[in-house]
Structure 1
Amino acid sequence: MKVEQIYTGCIAHAAYYVENNGEAAIFDPLREVQPYIDRAKKDNAKIKYVFETHFHADFVSGHLDLKAKTGAQIVFGPTAKPNYEALIASDGQFFTIGNYKIKAIHTPGHTMESTTYLLIDENDKEHGIISGDTLFIGDVGRPDLAQHVIADLTQDKLARLLYHSLREKIMPLSDDLIVYPNHGAGSACGKNMSKETTDTLGNQKRTNYALRPNMTEDEFVKELLTGLTTPPGYFPKNVLLNLKGYESLDKVIEKGKKPLNPNEFETLANVSGALILDTRNANDFAKGFIPNSINIGIDGSFAMWVGEMISDINQAILLVTEPGREEECMIRLSRVGYDNTIGYLEGGFESWKQAEKEIDSLKRITGEQLEALLKTADFPLFDVRKKSEFDSEHLLKSVNIPLNQLNAKLDSFPKDKSFVIYCAGGYRSMIAASILKQRGLDNFMDVSGGYNEIAKTTQLPKTNYVCPSTLL
């Protein structure tokens, strides 16, 4: 059976392309739809359906643009109530793609409308399931997201629905089916996803904690809800965009792709109140940047950290990028609903320097330099990694302020004493450093290689004990 997984690592997302006999279907497409159109064109196929497994929280789907450009019909599962035209499938309804059949199986739990799609080949053999966020490799979808949009949908209620969906709809299916999930490791839509992006259902029945056959409903709920972290703040906003609709990506790019010379850029920044977002790598940013800009590097988990650190999804944004990557940055912003880019610095940061505009910088040190400094003075240490990373191992006496909590805990950083921040490899700590600098702090240093470098190159004392919360 012709099924292609189209995986996007920066947001750990998998879309699927299914084609047979000149007809194609796209499952859970990203916002930029041209790659799917091009893929169908290569097969001389018409995109007949756009199947959505649920209203996504971690990205804005491309279903509306795909429908507008191809005429494909949007399909959601039972109970979905989008604010636009779509086919709402009934549980057990069949669709045809050429000689293939696709069966909608309503599997509520992650969300109420969550639906798994069973793929059946031209010989009526069941091939696999496109499971959305119902079943991942090694995990299942978290049930606590919908309550941020609809208060009555508590995590306990959805967890119990998911228990029954898995046992009554998924587990009775054949062991040789291939599981095609919507996400892999790194996504915030689960807590224990594998790095593998497909598996057989039989192996998942043997290895996935949530599919243990002797697990009671209460045990399932307890295990599923234990260890869930607070979902990113942009998740409910993305759900609403997917449910209500959004501006076409073409218009978003047209609006934002406005080259500005340094004088124009500076003027617009001053009069618009726009956020200056510098997407260069951390080392280049540290050496020189436009005052009050923040750094979130494009070559990392860019969209996720934009969503975590920029609270207003409608925030006007001015971009500083490596020349030629402006549109890429706009597309990746739009994946999580940040559609209000209003221009970019033509020629990148180099043009700002050549115009002799004001420049700021940040101090970065190596792990060995940190070790030498700590022999001469006692610098407070702040670890901006996730709590789980910190609990595993961290520098003795360091305090954990996860990056996604930074804005809420700015008062935790001393204003009258130099301090040091670090993450795992220097990407997240530079995001933190740029925000601290923007908020008026400059009495700190950032470890360029992060904890990974510190552990390899120094003998600094480490521990896996959590610092007392009183230190915060």
Structure 2
Amino acid sequence: MKIEQIYTGCLAHAAYYLESNGEAAIFDPLREVQPYINRAEKDGAQIKYVFETHFHADFVSGHLDLAKKTNAKIVYGPTAKPAFEATIAEDNQVFEVGACKVKAIHTPGHTMESTTYMLIDENGKEHGLITGDTLFIGDVGRPDLAQHVIADLTQEKLASHLYDSLRNKIMPLSDDLIIYPNHGAGSACGKMMSKETTDTLGNQKRFNYALRPDMTREEFIKELLNGLTTPPGYFPKNVLLNIKGYESIDEVLDRGKKSLSAEEFEIVANETDALILDSRQTDDFAVGFIPNSINIGLDSNFAMWVGELIPDIKQEILLVTDEGKEEETITRLARVGYDHSIGFLKGGFKTWRESGKEFNTIKRISAEEFANTYKNDEPIVFDVRKKSEFASEHILGASNIPLNSINEHLAEIPKDKPFILHCAGGYRSMIAASILKQRGWDNFVDVKGGFAAISKTDVPRTEYVCPSTLL
């Protein structure tokens, strides 16, 4: 039996490839499915099953395209009701993949259909658990997502189900089982996930707060719900795409990979309601960008911030990327359901600049310049980090408007007085700067290097408080 984790860092997502005797299975695939097909072909294997642990919220799964291209069967756990052909497994139903077996164990809690898959090798030994969002390394899946799709599934009800699933279905299993979760640190599907992406069940029983054997149901629910932040707005929309179906990734790529000259790009921008999305790095964006474009850099949590800040997943999008990054950008948009890229600027921003067309810039200052301004002018400062980051340590006198809520707080940002923006390192504040610039603000500067750079100066800050005390 061969089991491989295929990890995608920008989404903190893990898919899994299982192969035995020329048959293969894929668990929780991403939208672009060719890498899984290529992996199976490398082994000379046929993909027999696509196993889904649940209807995902943070990404659009590749189950439909993968099944269509390989004739594999899609498998969900009990209670799942997809709008397409799929096998709905019974609790403890066993599937054969070559000489090994996969047993579906219904573990509701994160969602009602959530299912863990036990991997049993060719010798009949129980090897590991593909746990989806039921059990992470250091954490368990948040129980508040399904209620955004089904209102009467409250987070308290789901947390109670998860308590039972963990204690009755998973904790009694052998300590030497390997845990293979769907996500690692950085995912919004949990709150305290480890950077490690696998572990033994025995270690998790010792170190995972949610698996403490002496926890009562009430204690579990309280600890699980404490500190949960509002989930990104695109999560329910991704759930519905995963339930109802979606357009093939091939069609999405074909539409998005339309190359446009500067003149064509300008015409399309003027004749449609398309959003101009610039995925270059912050340093490059700051020194020149197309008016009204938004910067969300591809080099960080691109898909997450697209989902947070672009409310309509059907929004038409025109792309400005680094040369050679066009397909990657379209693909990463499609991973979270943004399928309506309608073209990109051929040659990138350089083409726009060389055509002599108007462009904008964002003024940036160094941390040292900020320190001097802070001492002499008492400037208005907006910190766009998360509330927990701001609460743990911030510049005295700064106001906190987290980036994910900036559109709801625009009235608090002055247009008649100068102000300064910063985040942790510069990525999020440049996104904020581009949004403000698009909305008509021009009376601000951004701190290059953000709070990390400012903290090396003598600007007064609040005392550091361990973030764990803020949960």
Q: Tell me which interval the TM-score lies in, with the shorter structure as reference length.
A: over 0.9
Deviates more, 1:237-246 or 1:254-263: 254-263
Corresponding residue for residue 130 of structure 2: 130
Q: 4+ residue stretches of structure 1 with deviation over 4 A?
A: none
Q: Any residues of structure 2 matched to 1:131-146 within 5 Å, and which?
A: 131-146=131-146
Corresponding residue for residue 342 of structure 1: 342
CA distance in 2 between partners of 1:391 and 1:195 (Å)? 23
Q: Displacement, 1:373?
A: 1.4
AA aligned opposite 1:192: M
AA aligned opposite 2:432: A
Corresponding residue for residue 459 of structure 1: 458
Q: Displacement, 1:324?
A: 1.0
AA aligned opposite 1:6: I
Corresponding residue for residue 438 of structure 2: 438
Q: Any residues of structure 2 matched to 1:385-404 within 5 Å, and which?
A: 385-404=385-404
Corresponding residue for residue 227 of structure 2: 227
Aligned to 1:395, what secondary structure does the other structure show?
coil
Decide whether the 8 Å contact of 1:318 with 1:344 is kept in 2.
yes
Aligned to 2:64, what secondary structure does the other structure show?
helix
Decide whether the 8 Å contact of 1:390 with 1:464 is kept in 2.
no
Q: Deviations over 1:359-395 (max 9, x none)?
A: 1001111111101112221211111111111111111
Corresponding residue for residue 147 of structure 1: 147
Q: Any residues of structure 2 matched to 1:335-414 within 5 Å, and which?
A: 335-414=335-414
Q: Displacement, 1:415?
A: 1.2
Corresponding residue for residue 185 of structure 2: 185
AA aligned opposite 1:143: P
AA aligned opposite 1:91: D
Structure 1 length normalisation: TM-score?
0.98
Corresponding residue for residue 469 of structure 1: none
Aligned to 2:95, what secondary structure does the other structure show?
strand
CA distance in 2 between partners of 1:376 and 1:259 (Å)? 49
CA distance in 2 between partners of 1:136 and 1:382 (Å)? 34
CA distance in 1 between partners of 2:53 and 2:366 (Å)? 46
Q: Deviations over 1:154-181 (max 9, x none)?
A: 1000000000000000000000000000
Q: Displacement, 1:137?
A: 0.3
Aligned to 2:252, what secondary structure does the other structure show?
helix
Corresponding residue for residue 9 of structure 1: 9
CA distance in 2 between partners of 1:377 and 1:393 (Å)? 22
AA aligned opposite 1:27: F
Q: Deviations over 1:260-297 (max 9, x none)?
A: 10111001001101000000000110000000000000
Check if 1:39 corresponds to 2:39: yes
Q: Which runs of no fewer than 5 residues in structure 2 stay unpaired?
A: 466-471
Aligned to 1:406, what secondary structure does the other structure show?
helix
Corresponding residue for residue 468 of structure 2: none
* Pairs aligned (count): 465
Q: Displacement, 1:465?
A: 8.4
Q: Please report the RMSD computed on the Cα atoms of aligned residues, expressed in angstroms.
A: 0.9
Corresponding residue for residue 64 of structure 2: 64
CA distance in 2 between partners of 1:32 and 1:448 (Å)? 35
Q: Any residues of structure 2 matched to 1:2-401 within 5 Å, and which?
A: 2-401=2-401
CA distance in 2 between partners of 1:96 and 1:76 (Å)? 15
CA distance in 2 between partners of 1:243 and 1:4 (Å)? 26
Change (3 A) 1:465 1:208: closer
AA aligned opposite 1:385: R
Aligned to 2:409, what secondary structure does the other structure show?
helix
CA distance in 1 between partners of 2:341 and 2:53 (Å)? 29
CA distance in 2 between partners of 1:417 and 1:125 (Å)? 68
Aligned to 2:57, what secondary structure does the other structure show?
coil
CA distance in 1 between partners of 2:407 and 2:78 (Å)? 39
Q: Displacement, 1:464?
A: 4.3
CA distance in 1 between partners of 2:378 and 2:438 (Å)? 25
CA distance in 2 between partners of 1:177 and 1:315 (Å)? 44
Q: Which runs of no fewer than 5 residues in structure 1 stay unpaired?
A: 467-472
Decide whether the 8 Å contact of 1:54 with 1:77 is kept in 2.
yes
